[in-house]
Structure formats: C-alpha cells, structure tokens
Amino acid sequence: MPSLDRLISATRKAVDERRAARPLSELDQVVAALPPIRPFTEAVVGEEISFVLQADAFHAGLLEQCEDAEIAGLCLPLERVGDGDASGLPVLLADVVVDRYQLYESRAAGADGVVLIIAAFDDEGEELSELYGEAADIGLDVLLEVGQEDEIEWSMEQLDPDSFVIRNGDGDGGADLERTFSLLEEVPAGIVVVSAGGVRDREEVRALERSGVDAVILDPWVIGEDVADVVRVLRGDAR
C-alpha cells in the first residue's frame, strides 16, 4: 500500500487535472442546487454496532445483500459514489481529501460525508480547519481520522468534532484493533466513533461494541463472500 505522502502527492496531481477540465465554479453551481444529504453519522448510530461496507463498486446484486444484511452505509471511491444512489444508503467518500475542490466534486457526485485525515496536514492545522469548515458549509458530514492521542486533543480544542474514524492499519498491511481500544480512552463521551478495517470475527465486534464503538467499516474482502451471511456472523445471530 502506498504511503500517505505518496497518496497525497498523487491526489493533488489528479485534482489539478480534474480542476483544469471542470472549474470549481461549475461544481459550486451544481452543489448549490442539491437537496440535503442523507446524514452518515446519524445512520450509523443505534442501540447496536453498525456496519459500513467499503467497496470499489456497487451493483444490484450487492444492493440486495446489503439490504439483507441491514448495512448502515457505504464507503466508495469518488468515481463510484453515484453507484450508491440506488441503495438509499448514506455514502462516505473513501478517497484521501486534501483540497477544497474534492469537497465540491464529492458533494456533486452524491457523497454524504468525507473523512479528513489529520496526519495529512501540517502541524498548524490551518488548511485542515478551513476544509473542515467548508465541508460543513456545503452540507457534508465530516469525520476526522485520528491515529494519535495528541490529534484527538488538538481536534477537540480547535474543531469540536462530533465523530472520529480510527483506522486499524499497522503500517505493514495488517491490522491492529488495539489502536482503536487505546485511542477510545481519549475520546469524550457523545462522540461517534467508527473503527475502520481489520474486523473478521464476532469476538472482535463484541470487544469493539463493549468499548463504545458505534460502527465498523468492513474491508472489501467481505464482498467476496455473502455479505448478509458475514454480517449475521459478526452480529452473532448466524443460523
């Protein structure tokens, strides 16, 4: 998997190319005419832990499985965001966001929420703060991805967020749920917490739920199985 720095560099280059082909002023007009989003964070909060499916594409067969599994939301790349429209589920953008242009094209494409990775911005946080505010201004849900205790502290002081994403990647292609458990200790009560990646069995889900996690983003491996069956197992109600 490419490093975050490489992803940011590639993203900025791609965004510059798209901006040259379609100016921000055009996207702004599209966004201004759109109806309100389907609130992503509201959809994943409930009495039990919710499941969000990360996918590279979405189709009718997968839609049926998601309905059977009572999936709460989708996480899709920009070029497939519109695929989720048929499901009626809220859609979270899967791409790394580092430019305000991405906010507008995501909203125009049908995304309901974006993730802003604190580690993708400099220590001053000025650019992050501006993107956070602008995303909210155009009607997007904003989830902050945190990986360190000081990022949680900074964001609470500077942005007062209502939701966090904690990604469980260990940097070597694996996943370590201890990252979620550790950082949860620093998250104030009332904040929506989404744990991303690495969940594969019922005991892991139980542990996350007991710790206060509201939702889990399931890795794309689930799509190679029967989504409804996988989720039933994870919920503990497999027949």
Nearest 5°: phi and psi at 50? -105, 160
Q: What is the pLDDT along the chain (239 residues), one digit of tens a residue?
A: 578 899 999 999 999 999 999 999 999 999 999 999 999 999 999 889 999 999 998 888 899 999 999 999 999 999 999 998 888 999 999 999 999 999 999 999 999 999 999 999 987 789 999 999 999 999 999 999 998 999 999 999 999 999 999 988 755 445 688 889 999 999 999 999 999 988 989 999 999 999 999 999 998 889 988 999 999 999 988 54
Listed in sequence order, the DSSP H helices in 121-189 are 126-137, 149-158, 178-184
- pLDDT (0 to 100) of residue 133: 96
Task: Name the CATH superfamily housing domain 4-235.
Answer: Aldolase class I (3.20.20.70)
Domain locations in the chain? 4-235
CA 140, 12, 123 angle in degrees (round to 5)? 75
Residues 6+ apart with CB under 8 A from 38: 88, 89, 90, 91, 112
**Residue 4: strand, helix, or coil:** helix
* Residue environment code for 30-39, b if the CB has 16+ CB neighbours within 10 A, otherwise e: ebeeeeebbe
| Burial zone of 155 (CB within 10 Å; 0-12 exposed, 13-18 middle, 19+ buried) | buried
Please state, in angstroms and rounded to a whole number, the distance separating the CA atoms of residues 51 and 208. 12
Longest CA pairwise span in the chain (Å): 54
Please state, in angstroms and rounded to a whole number, the distance separating the CA atoms of residues 127 and 117. 12
- pLDDT (0 to 100) of residue 215: 97
In the chain, the amino acid numbered 25 is S
Please state, in angstroms and rounded to a whole number, the distance separating the CA atoms of residues 216 and 175. 13
Q: Angle at which helices 227-235 and 60-69 pack, to 10 degrees?
A: 20
- pLDDT (0 to 100) of residue 174: 54
- pLDDT (0 to 100) of residue 125: 86
